[in-house]
Structure 1
């Protein structure tokens, strides 16, 4: 019985680690995309509002990813 509990715990930890890895990867991708948009924003003033909205959307996504990472750390 102890083995099954340990196995389940190990499986859950592995799942949490994988989820954490995924969220960190997304967070890095969001940061890169935000930097690209900010650079583009400086070069293309005609699309400023569209780019600002995309930037806001990506920042919200990054905040959600950061919250998920924090929650995953708490579970580990």
Structure 2
């Protein structure tokens, strides 16, 4: 029975050592995604600027058409 306990204890120790080594090596191979994140931020800023400009343009055109129509009615 003691022999079985010793075998199980060594197996658990080896499994724990294996798990920590796998987790440690996984973090060592982590990729650097800062360039992709910076590109996404730049694209998002460009899209936000385009949307803001479009909304202001549509509002200005709508206001101008409203003014023209109101002047034509008078």
TM-score range, shorter-chain basis?
A: 0.5 to 0.7
Greater Rg by CA = 2
Which of 5, 16, 29 aligns to 2:60? It is 29
Query: Relative contact order (C-alpha < 8 Å, sep 6+): which is higher?
Result: 1
Q: Give the count of matched residue pairs.
A: 43
Superposed, 1:1-76 pairs within 5 Å as 1-43=32-74
Matched residues in 1 for 2:64 and 2:34: separation?
Answer: 45
Runs (4 or more) in structure 1 with deviation over 4 Å come to none
Aligned-residue offset at 1:41: 1.0
Q: Structure 1: any 5+ residue segments left out of the alignment?
A: 44-76
User: TM-score if structure 2 supplies the norm length?
Assistant: 0.56
Q: Structure 2: any 5+ residue segments left out of the alignment?
A: 1-31
Which structure has the highest helix share of the two? 1
Matched residues in 1 for 2:64 and 2:71: separation?
Answer: 10
